[in-house]
Amino acid sequence: KDKNEKEKEKETVEYFMLLGILAASMTYQIGLKPPGGLWQDNDNGHSAGNPVLHDINKHRYDVFFYSNSTSFMASIVVIVLLLPWTTSHKRKPPLWLMHMAILLDMLSLLVAYAAGSTRKWETSRNVIFIIIPVLLYIAIYAAASVLFPKEGRTFWTCLTSWWHTWQEISKKPTQLLPQERPV
């Protein structure tokens, strides 16, 4: 590998490690102090230390809990998989694996945010409408990274190339087979 590729690879590893550590820290803290806080006493059928959201809206708490836990575990997986990259191991896991784990991590964080940040449907609906473009971008980016893995070819350059090819094809008159020609 040339020096430029190694530098780019090193920056990617550092970026993934930063995202993994940041997400692990956030999800750990949020897990210790979930949205709505914790009950402070043992009154009215609840126990001190249990999440308030669990008793108010169990379904929303479950969505929050499982998406936050998924994000936390995806972050830990990214950190562990990146450890060989920070040392001089000869066998290193592929970066696309960390890329997919980071995408799962960020998607889970978005879901945890949507589930834990609001209590009313109207506000949740607004959060969902804000998250939909982000999810679409993530889906397009993931598809593009799988479909266009060549070095130096980005999604946009391929899309532009396809568009120009399509325009050229559409300008040419179609040639009909002999049996399709009008009589």
The string of DSSP letters for 144-170 reads HHHH--STT--HHHHHHHHHHHHHHHH
Flag whether pLDDT at 176 surpasses 60.
Answer: no
End-to-end CA distance of the chain: 62
Residue of 149 and 164 predicted with greater confidence: 164
Flag whether pLDDT at 155 surpasses 80.
Answer: no
* Residue 173 falls inside a structural domain: no
| Domain, as residue range, for 64 | 3-153
* Residue 83 falls inside a structural domain: yes
* Residue 112 falls inside a structural domain: yes
**What is the pLDDT confidence band of residue 42, given thresholds at 50, 70 and 90?**
confident
Structure tokens at 101: 């784990």
* Residue 170 falls inside a structural domain: no
Q: How many domains does the chain have?
A: 1
* Residue 62 falls inside a structural domain: yes
* Residue 168 falls inside a structural domain: no
Tokens 């590998």 identify what position?
1
* Residue 164 falls inside a structural domain: no
Using alpha carbons, select from 8, 5, 104, 123 the residue that is nearest to residue 57: 123
Mean pLDDT, all residues of the chain: 79
* Residue 73 falls inside a structural domain: yes
Q: Taking the complete model, does pTM exceed 0.75, yes or no?
A: no
